[in-house]
Structure 1
Amino acid sequence: MLQQHLVMAERHVDVGEKHLLKQEALIAEPDRDGHDTADALKLLATTRATQRLHLQDRDRLLAELGR
């Protein structure tokens, strides 16, 4: 069961990383051009916080499996 949860957690980490990279790329150009990116940056911060949770979950599962 823990192994299945770890597989899912790894998938969440991978997908989260892809989302972060995509969002950062989408925000970069309008931000450089002086456009208002406040809402996009808030969403990016939320995505980063979610990614930290995914990483913590994965690390917890790895620790449990390592016992």
Structure 2
Amino acid sequence: MIDRKMLMDRQAEARRHVALGERHIAEQEDRITELAANGHDTTESRKLLENFYGLQQQHVQHRDRLLRQLEK
């Protein structure tokens, strides 16, 4: 079994990943808005954003799973 200190370290890292993911999503949304406002194609940018959303969901699930383990 993983010791509590290791779980806490992993949970802290997972929180950082979630925060970084939020920042990446916000930046990509801003890019898409700017591209669209300037008449540029946003297809590829939107695909990348969808990938970011999927990754973020995984980061959140991982963070929450670690948190549940710490609460035991």
Q: What's the counterpart of residue 27 of structure 1?
A: 32
- Unaligned 5+ segments in structure 1 are none
Give the superposed CA RMSD.
Answer: 1.0
Q: TM-score, normalised by structure 1?
A: 0.93
Residue aligned with 1:52, SS: helix
User: Could you list the per-position Cα deviations for residues 27-59 of structure 1 after superposition, in whole angstroms to 9, with x for gaps in the alignment?
Assistant: 112224442110000000001100000000000
Q: Which runs of 5+ in 2 are unaligned?
A: 1-5
Aligned residue in 1 for 2:62: 57
- Number of equivalences: 67
Structure 2 residue 15 is matched with structure 1 residue 16: no
Please identify the structure whose Cα radius of gyration is greater: 2
Report the counterpart of residue 42 of structure 1 in structure 2: 47
State the TM-score, normalized to the length of structure 2: 0.87
Which residue identity does 1:16 align to in structure 2?
G
